[in-house]
Structure 1
Amino acid sequence: MTLEISPVATLQGDLRPPSDKSLTHRAYMFASIADGDSVVRMPLRGEDCESTLHCLIQLGLRHEWMSPSEIRLVPPREWQVPRGDLDCGNSGTTMRLMSGLLASRPLDVTLVGDASLSRRPMQRIAEPLRMMGATVEGDTAPLHIVGGQLRGIDYVSPVASAQIKSCVLLAGLGAEGVTSVREPSPSRDHTERMLRATGVRIEQNGAVSLAGGQRPHGFEITIPADISSAAFFLVAAAMLPQSSLAIHDLSMNPTRTGILDVLRQCGVPYELLGEREELGEPVSTLEIRAPKFLKPFEISGSLVPRLIDEIPVLAVLATQCEGTSVIRDARELRVKETDRIETVSTGLRAMGAEVETFEDGLAITGPTKLKAAQIDAAGDHRIGMAFAIAGLISDGGVKIDNAESIATSYPGFTDDLMRLAII
């Protein structure tokens, strides 16, 4: 699919972005191991989360759609052997977290994915699961897992990764003894918050620890909106003069709000209103306005895990900042759906931007009037959406090839963009 985006004058209006993908994945998985029924409202209906739901149904999870936006989930007494391979599609979250759940159960299962997911590294979760006693064959998909009786470990993760941490903790729920995970810097804590909110006892003191043999209680949750999806509109509003947006029901988990730190560096005014909680997760409305000019920013160190998925669109923002913006310590970008460092830099250079690349990041000097270009999203949803935002401020728009992957996380992206845009 080729997506064509024309330049616009400004963005105005109200937005409720898609529900949080990470929370939808976890809600489905927690419901599959809970001690009672659960209800999930406003789940993300994108392809990645559907992959998680379909895998769990094959393992015995029963479900009933009460309405198009509300699903009741009934956990199986015992997980069943699926009739075939579990297809994780393009979803790294599905494959990595599901591996943790499967490892503690007496099942022989193979996890597969599409061509992109099959290139992504899985050794990072296979290693701790093997240390716990599971049989895991493959360091990339397909992963063949033979689960069984696990023992708790004290695992020191080489990288700050919520997927690694969550995989090990979910395996630890079914392990003997205590399982702990230590990271070089804090990663997203959705799993810890949901564990605590559903009655699982965890300790956090330099490591995240839990004792095996615990089960989450059944729960109800209305999934808040995803800040990673909102990021594209936050950046667009910051770059387009006179823009003013109100973004509602937004997940404000502090391990995910690094983009707000960057907006502050750039001098972008915003305000949080109506703060509340949803199953341990803070939620707010965010109002944002375009500044008179944009100051350059720096991203490195502990800030990186808090905005790793937003870096492609923040690179677009950097092209409009007055000076050089620098992104370092983001080597993880090279093993996402694409090598995002190279994909972003190639696309921005094609649009006339001044970009220097490093092994772990980028330096971008602006402001630059971006020119029209044809961009290959390479099947990466965040690349596709990032360059759609770049097209809004270009002198002739962009054509984005292989943009169908946008539907994996934001099926209504183009419709929302056109609704808010003023030509």
Structure 2
Amino acid sequence: MADTVVAEPLAVETIDLSALTHCRGLVGECDLPGDPELSTVALAFGALVEGETTVARCSQRPEVVAIAQPLSMLGAEVSFEGETATISGGGLQKTESVLEARTPTAFSCVAGVLAGSPFGGTVAIEEGYLRSARSALDALESFGVVVRATEEPPYQAEIGVNVPKPGSYALGEPDSAIKAAVFLAALGQSGTFEMIQDLAGEDDLEVLFRRAQGRLDKGRVEDADGHRIVFEGPQELHPSDHVLPGDATAAGCLMGLAALLPESDLSIRDANTDWKTRRLIDLLRRFNVGIEIEKTRTESGIASRTYRVESKEELRKIKVAGEYSELFFEEIPLLSVLASAATGETVIRDVSGLREGKTDVIGLMAENLRRLDARVGEISDGLVIEGTSALQGGEVDGGGDARVTLALVVAGLAAEGETKIVNPGPVEATYPGILGRIASVVQVKGR
């Protein structure tokens, strides 16, 4: 196994969770912690490059850092210093160990690397990600990869030693995890590999691939509403430096907090343009958050955006349900804080899963918001929140949950008086860098 250097905690100014005080606004400019999915893909590509690849603004989330273990077991060397990752690869080696993946994107990448190797192997993922993992395996199987997967937990997929064969796969909506699996599997194979997707445009994964001197052809499918991505193998990737765009969850936290405070004028640079971030902007605009958007690119050419949020408009009620609840499941605590300051009654539904596990997040957020003088009712699968003119500081309980604690940081900085969070969750471990970004732009009274 190659060496892996574990990421150290970032040495940045942070927020005191035991004494949050009301702030005037978020003022100035900041960037974001790196996008976790794109960070995972960039590290996986680096494992197949002969030489050293650097990934700046690489996410330090635990599930991203965790991909270093399976990649190192396959012969790559991975190290992290602050928000920069370095990976040296190109010499894959066989392992008999089951390779653990923490996210669907990591699963897809590891499965793709194994499918393109001369030895195959086994990759595992938690049961909750079964559907997403199965989608990546379906794509690999369409190119002739033999997969033997269990249907019961623990979910494991054994990737056979037969190499992918040229062919075509109907991708539908662009999916970076599936595309990464196919690119990684087909890289060393001869022939033409084709994927057809519904939308045009070059996504972040393709920019990473081209920056490493990978070659792709794209064009419209004749007599059909689709676009063809053509990969001609074999190809060899080369060492490159990547600067990644930012994380959607961090963007939502900063924009939401800026909208809650009375004197905000915040610019967030190098935000991602992925589907989740675009839907996040739509959701915040439904809350009546004023957001100006400027098209930009990161230093390595990946499309990004600068968002400017000013305190201009009164927030208004919305309904969060269906696909929005599914897409922003982890951000529901933050959205409930925004709802507490919005005029009218906001309804959040289809999130009964937040009641499961160690913490009943729905019940805990309802109780905490009531402690801050918000008017909140619980329903079986969500919350009903009547907006109030101003939250009032008090003692709240993080429940040991990072999602709840981050939402309470936002609430505490917006509330009048002082707020103390007891039993906080591991915010800096789960969302590395976010508290430091808030601290860098927050304007307290008297500053």
Instruction: State whether TM-score is above 0.5.
Output: yes
Whole-Å Cα distance in 1 between the matches of residues 320 and 95 of structure 2?
Answer: 43
1:278 is displaced (CA, Å) by: 5.0
Does the 8 Å CA contact 2:345/2:387 hold for their aligned counterparts? yes
Q: Which residue number corresponds to residue 347 of structure 1?
A: 365
Match for residue 98 of structure 1 among 105, 110, 114:
110
RMSD value over aligned CA atoms? 4.3
Code of the residue aligned with 1:101 in structure 2: it is: V
Cα 1:347–1:71 change in 2 (3 A) is closer
Q: Which residue number corresponds to residue 246 of structure 2?
A: 225
1:277 is displaced (CA, Å) by: 4.5
Match for residue 12 of structure 1 among 2, 26, 45:
26
Q: Which residue number corresponds to residue 3 of structure 2?
A: none
Whole-Å Cα distance in 2 between the matches of residues 216 and 257 of structure 1?
Answer: 33
Whole-Å Cα distance in 1 between the matches of residues 229 and 367 of structure 2?
Answer: 45
Q: Does 1:121 align with 2:129?
A: yes
After TM superposition, the structure 1 = structure 2 runs for residues 15-414 of structure 1, keeping only pairs within 5 Å, are 15-34=30-49, 37-63=52-78, 70-77=84-91, 79-82=92-95, 84-88=97-101, 91-105=103-117, 106-111=119-124, 118=126, 120-126=128-134, 129=137, 131-132=141-142, 133-137=146-150, 139-141=152-154, 143-149=156-162, 150=164, 154=169, 163=177, 166-167=180-181, 170-171=184-185, 178=193, 180=195, 190-195=204-209, 198=212, 199-201=214-216, 203=218, 206=226, 210-211=230-231, 213=233, 215=235, 217-218=237-238, 219-253=240-274, 255-273=276-294, 275-279=296-300, 281-299=302-320, 309-327=330-348, 334=353, 343-344=361-362, 346-352=364-370, 353-355=375-377, 357=379, 363-367=384-388, 369-370=390-391, 372=394, 374-377=396-399, 379=401, 381-394=402-415, 397-399=419-421, 401=423, 403-404=425-426, 406-410=428-432, 412-414=433-435
Which digits, 9 at most, give the CA deviation of each residue in 1:99-140, with x for residues without a partner? 34334432333546xxxxx45232441365264521233554
Does the 8 Å CA contact 2:116/2:185 hold for their aligned counterparts? yes
Cα 1:314–1:320 change in 2 (3 A) is same
Does the 8 Å CA contact 2:116/2:188 hold for their aligned counterparts? yes
SS state of the match for residue 236, structure 1?
A: helix
SS state of the match for residue 397, structure 1?
A: strand
Which digits, 9 at most, give the CA deviation of each residue in 1:342-386, with x for residues without a partner? 624541344224245575x6554323755645434554x433312
Does the 8 Å CA contact 1:378/1:401 hold for their aligned counterparts? yes
1:290 is displaced (CA, Å) by: 1.7
Unaligned runs of 5+ in 1: 113-117
1:24 is displaced (CA, Å) by: 1.5
Whole-Å Cα distance in 2 between the matches of residues 299 and 191 of structure 1?
Answer: 30
Whole-Å Cα distance in 2 between the matches of residues 214 and 301 of structure 1?
Answer: 43
Larger Rg: 2
Q: Which residue number corresponds to residue 8 of structure 2?
A: none
TM-score, length-normalised on structure 1? 0.76
Which digits, 9 at most, give the CA deviation of each residue in 1:192-239, with x for residues without a partner? 554465534265754775557454733321123323212212111111
Does the 8 Å CA contact 1:172/1:210 hold for their aligned counterparts? no
Q: Which residue number corresponds to residue 4 of structure 2?
A: none
Does the 8 Å CA contact 2:187/2:233 hold for their aligned counterparts? yes
Does the 8 Å CA contact 2:17/2:421 hold for their aligned counterparts? yes
Code of the residue aligned with 1:121 in structure 2: it is: Y
Aligned length: 405
Identity value in percent: 20
Code of the residue aligned with 2:296 in structure 1: it is: E
Whole-Å Cα distance in 2 between the matches of residues 309 and 181 of structure 1?
Answer: 31
Does the 8 Å CA contact 1:267/1:291 hold for their aligned counterparts? no
TM-score, length-normalised on structure 2? 0.72
Cα 1:34–1:153 change in 2 (3 A) is same
Unaligned runs of 5+ in 2: 1-15
